[in-house]
Amino acid sequence: MRRIILAGNWKMHKTQAEALEFLQGFCHAVQETPEDRELVLCVPFTALGVMSKNLHGTRIRLGSQNIHWEESGAFTGEISAPMLLEMGVTYAIVGHSERRQYFGETDDTVNKRLLAAQKHGMTPILCVGESKEQRDAGQTEAHIYSQLEKDLANVDEKNLVVAYEPIWAIGTGDTCDAKEANRVIGLIRAQLSTPDVPIQYGGSVKPDNIDEIMAQPEIDGALVGGASLKPDAFARIANYQ
Ligand code: 13P
């Protein structure tokens, strides 16, 4: 059985006070959300402590937006698995296109981060996806296959989530057509050796397109940026029809 996972990626948004304010509205709005939908909030490192305390006893799981492969060391600006585990973090986004694009993340470092998360019992959410130039040049499939092959070397697919995030659809309002996202996610699934890996779609997911996205047979959830910052909008996404 493939799990359904709706995850918010807050990116570099929200102070601790703002995070708490979000929770007040959100927790109430997801009280009736079907139990088989997993809800995850991937928040900035600085909000993990306050979120951890306030999510205790709720169904909402906590995620980080990155994870380093060493447990400690001289790696300024990084965060390790033991530090995240202490905060109750169970999911870690790895290889988001913004990390690859702006912070020099490579398939090699993505692979190391995935392995580190799994080694410590956390579930990594691996992001893959093509740029507009790659799509226009007909390289979508080849690019994603290459990412999967390198990123997933020695990775245990039984404890993994993949997010297909076409870069051109992130933060642009230009959502990938639901059927096209379904097609690419089907191709990703065919590349994996474990059929049950949950595969999400990410890129301008909103309350007004989530129903169509979740109606697609290959899509097991969403990784949501902008719309996960508003309690009502993210609750509507969690409560898709
Ligand atoms: P938006 O939903 O803001 O397009 O961001 C998607 C994303 O990057 C989630 O990781």
What 3 state SS string does the chain have?
Answer: CCCEEEEEECCCCCCHHHHHHHHHHHHHHCCCCCCCEEEEEECCHHHHHHHHHHHCCCCEEEEECCCCCCCCCCCCCCCCHHHHHHCCEEEEEECCHHHHHHCCCCHHHHHHHHHHHHHCCCEEEEEECCCHHHHHCCCHHHHHHHHHHHHCCCCCHHHCEEEECCHHHCCCCCCCCHHHHHHHHHHHHHHCCCCCCCEEEECCCCCCCHHHHHCCCCCCEEEECHHHHCHHHHHHHHCCC
Residue 165 CA, ligand 1 centroid: distance in Å = 8
Residue 235 CA, ligand 1 centroid: distance in Å = 16
Ligand 1 atom nearest to 224, measured from its CA? 2
Whether the pLDDT of residue 60 is over 90: the answer is: yes
pLDDT tens, position by position, 126-160? 999 999 999 999 999 999 999 999 999 999 999 99
Q: What is the mean pLDDT of residues 46-75?
A: 97
> Among the options 38, 68, 96, 130, which is catalytic?
96
Q: What is the mean pLDDT of residues 109-115?
A: 98
- Residue 25's pLDDT is 95
Residue 97 CA, ligand 1 centroid: distance in Å = 10
- Residue 102's pLDDT is 97
CB of 97 within 8 A of CB of 170? yes
81 lines ligand 1 (CB under 6 A): no
pLDDT tens, position by position, 194-206? 989 999 999 999 9
- Residue 173's pLDDT is 84
Can you list the domains of the chain with their CATH numbers? 4-238 (3.20.20.70)
Closest CA to ligand 1's atom 5 = 225
- Residue of 66, 71, 165 lying closest to 124 (CA atoms): 66
Q: Is 80 exposed, middle or buried (0-12, 13-18, 19+ CB in 10 A)?
A: middle
Ligand 1 atom nearest to 172, measured from its CA? 4
- Residue 206's pLDDT is 97
Q: What is the pTM of this model?
A: 0.98
- Residue 96's pLDDT is 98
96 as an active site residue: the answer is yes
218 as an active site residue: the answer is no
pLDDT tens, position by position, 221-230? 999 999 999 9
Q: What is the mean pLDDT of residues 50-55?
A: 97
Q: What is the mean pLDDT of residues 2-10?
A: 97
Q: How confident is the model at residue 175 (pLDDT cuts 50, 70, 90)?
A: confident
Ligand 1 atom nearest to 127, measured from its CA? 10
Whether the pLDDT of residue 190 is over 90: the answer is: yes
